[in-house]
Structure 1
Amino acid sequence: MIGSGDVADVAVVIPCCNGEHHIDRALSSVVTQPGLSMEIVVVDDGSTDRSVDRAKAFSEVQVISTPNRGAAAARNAGLRATKAPLVKFLDADDELLPDALTEQVEAVNQLGPEQIHVGGWYVLADAGQKRRHGCQRDGGGQVPNLIIQNILTSGPLHRRHLLERVNGFDERFPWNQEWNLHIRLAASGAQFLFHEQAVYCAHRRSDAGRITNKKFKTRDFVRKELDMIEWTRQSIGRSERTDVAFAFRAMRIAKSAAKLGQLADAHAALAFARAISPRDYRRHWPSKYTAIHRLFGTRLGEKALIRYWQMSS
């Protein structure tokens, strides 16, 4: 979609692993965006189905095949293979809304060099239910806010120089890669500007192949989640406000573990929260959780809270 030697307006990078049933939809939503010169790269992450053939059917698309190393490595490979100053990462099971990327590029061109445009999204579930999601707001500091509330991968339109400044995605992360990236970008000085207008539709499947579904079946998923919190803490430097936010995230991991019946892991996640923010780890807790915890004291309160989560699953 660009001539030899020209630099495109925007690069679209789509990691794909066994996505033959939805990669056509994602690519069709990209190639029909009007008025843009684009580099479109599908990074096949070791697919064993017909994903590569499906992607190659689009003449505008460059396909890069790599061994299976995960979405973070695939996105970094796509970043290295492109040159455009703006970069849109699109998940293979998402689709851009009509004109959305064109409008996002126009909006970004009105912003400063440290600013990143983030759009809203729709979620379309298996049963056809459609829900609109707006973007988070910055209240209390952007980095702590990003720790608590994630921006999903397909929402931002990134600036290449900011991605390169933080060395792209951390390839240690089996999931939560965009969470870590956005926190590091904000900590480096980038500013996310949130807009309500939806830019993509996220198709949420209930099958076990989705990373979000697979992680809960992964052995030691709580340990991996806590490792990822610690890696992110180390990458941005410690502060009281960010540690309180990380402690809140650890509490949510404990809740997930309790609902799965992994009670020892739930206790470990709460202990992790206490360790990183001893005086204030409950600051962002819902009042109901805080009341249960205070009623029984720290140790018995944690047991009661875990029991409550388990019973409400």
Structure 2
Amino acid sequence: MNFKSKKKVSIIIPCYNDEDRISEAIESAINQTYSNKEIVVVDDGSTDRSREIVNSYENVNLLENERNRGANCSRNRGIENSSGYFIKFLDSDDTLSEAALEKQVKQSEEVDDKEIVFGGGEVESEGGTRTISLRGRRMGESKIEHVIDVSLGTPYPLHRRSYLEAVGGFREGIPWWQESDLHIRLALLGVEFQYRETMIVTVRDHDDDGRIKNSNWFAEDPMMKMKLVKAWEEEMREKDVMTDRIEKSLAKKLWNGGRKALRLNRRGVAERYFEYARQMHSDCVEGDSRLYEVLVQSLGPTIAEYVGSLKRKM
């Protein structure tokens, strides 16, 4: 490809204590085939060599937070201190495919201004590499329902700055589901997310405690995810866009929150999530197999999750 555009892309990379991986992220941004770009790294109070490493690169703008404030604050600061028409978010331990920007800028210029394109990618973990399964909007599916069900991560879309600014960027103070929150608020604004089958990013899946995007939401507020869903529900009812299908999608998201709580041995918290999910919609059970759903109906979600954990270890 040799596509050129006058529209600049700002690549925004939040970083916190990622000295072992930040170089790969920066170099994947530098090596993009699309030349009209700027790279902004926002260091979120790192105590390792991250800032020193970032400073070793020419033409990379480094912003430094005085203290650790979280990925959302860092991304918002990157938006405020960049100038691109388009915004590409990249986490400090992930890498962009070489032609990601070139392909997505071209795709973005082929769609309506109120549409945001997103592509796919792969996840690398100790167990190997797997492809991310994403999809476009189905027939009869609303824009809101689509972004709830697909759950896009931050690096997959190529955002238009104007819409990020219109919704105030990322909601700060929420360490989990921040992508869903942003995309739901964009969909409520009328933005549609358009899927294009394109390899965009390689995401690293690991569980470092200090990782900027791995904050333990139970440590600060175990009911945070439930509060978010309630906020979305309230806004949708105020805008008179709530439907039975959206209620079902939100209920399934709550159910997944309960499953996460069980995996962290927080049974009491999990029960509250399950209860609220059932109140929101009768068809709320979200599992990875028919066996799980049968076990939930017959023995309850706690035993179903335990059986599922045994199955995953086999």
Q: Which residue of 1 aligns with 2:33?
A: 34
Q: Which residue of 2 aligns with 1:305?
A: 301
- Write the letter of the residue equivalent to 2:246: T
Contact 2:115 2:194 in 1 (8 A): yes
User: Residue 311 of structure 1: CA displacement?
Assistant: 3.8
Write out per-residue CA displacement over residues 159-212 of structure 1, whole angstroms, 9 at most, x where no aligned residue: 011111111111121122111101111121111111222111112224333456
- Equivalent-residue separation in structure 2 for 1:156 and 1:76 (angstroms): 16
- Write the letter of the residue equivalent to 2:118: V
Contact 1:134 1:196 in 2 (8 A): no
Q: Which residue of 2 aligns with 1:15?
A: 14
Q: Which residue of 2 aligns with 1:263?
A: 267
Write out per-residue CA displacement over residues 257-299 of structure 1, whole angstroms, 9 at most, x where no aligned residue: 223332211211111113334xx3437666555545555xxxx
Instruction: Note the 1:232-251 alignment, pairs <5 A.
Output: 232-237=232-237, 239-240=242-243, 241-251=245-255
Secondary structure, aligned partner of 1:130: strand
- Equivalent-residue separation in structure 2 for 1:199 and 1:213 (angstroms): 22
- Equivalent-residue separation in structure 2 for 1:145 and 1:15 (angstroms): 27
Deviates more, 1:139-148 or 1:234-243: 234-243
Deviates more, 1:28-37 or 1:57-66: 28-37
- Write the letter of the residue equivalent to 1:186: A
Instruction: Note the 1:102-117 alignment, pairs <5 A.
Output: 102-117=102-117
Contact 1:23 1:51 in 2 (8 A): yes
- Write the letter of the residue equivalent to 2:63: I
Deviates more, 1:130-139 or 1:58-67: 130-139
Q: 1:146 to 1:159 in 2, by over 3 A?
A: same
Q: Which residue of 2 aligns with 1:3?
A: none
- Write the letter of the residue equivalent to 1:267: E
- Write the letter of the residue equivalent to 1:34: T
Secondary structure, aligned partner of 2:303: helix
Instruction: Note the 1:140-289 alignment, pairs <5 A.
Output: 140-210=141-211, 213-215=214-216, 218-219=218-219, 222-237=222-237, 239-240=242-243, 241-277=245-281, 280-282=282-284, 288=291
Q: Does 1:49 align with 2:51?
A: no
Contact 1:15 1:91 in 2 (8 A): yes
- Equivalent-residue separation in structure 1 for 2:297 and 2:37 (angstroms): 56
RMSD between aligned alpha carbons? 2.3
- Write the letter of the residue equivalent to 1:264: G
- Write the letter of the residue equivalent to 2:277: A
User: Residue 9 of structure 1: CA displacement?
Assistant: 1.2
Q: 1:35 to 1:273 in 2, by over 3 A?
A: closer
Secondary structure, aligned partner of 2:121: strand
- Write the letter of the residue equivalent to 1:306: T
Contact 1:168 1:181 in 2 (8 A): yes
How many pairs were matched up?
A: 296
Contact 2:44 2:70 in 1 (8 A): yes
Question: Could you tell me the TM-score, scaled by structure 2's length?
Answer: 0.86
- Write the letter of the residue equivalent to 1:249: K
Q: 1:293 to 1:59 in 2, by over 3 A?
A: closer
Identity rate, percent = 29
User: Residue 233 of structure 1: CA displacement?
Assistant: 2.8
Q: Which residue of 1 aligns with 2:132?
A: 133
Q: 1:80 to 1:220 in 2, by over 3 A?
A: closer
- Equivalent-residue separation in structure 1 for 2:133 and 2:249 (angstroms): 21
- Equivalent-residue separation in structure 2 for 1:292 and 1:34 (angstroms): 50
For structure 2, the 5+ residue unaligned runs are 1-5, 310-314
Secondary structure, aligned partner of 2:153: coil
Secondary structure, aligned partner of 1:230: helix
Secondary structure, aligned partner of 1:144: helix
- Equivalent-residue separation in structure 1 for 2:123 and 2:296 (angstroms): 34
- Equivalent-residue separation in structure 1 for 2:246 and 2:210 (angstroms): 32
Deviates more, 1:129-138 or 1:204-213: 204-213
Question: Could you tell me the TM-score, scaled by structure 1's length?
Answer: 0.86
- Write the letter of the residue equivalent to 1:244: K
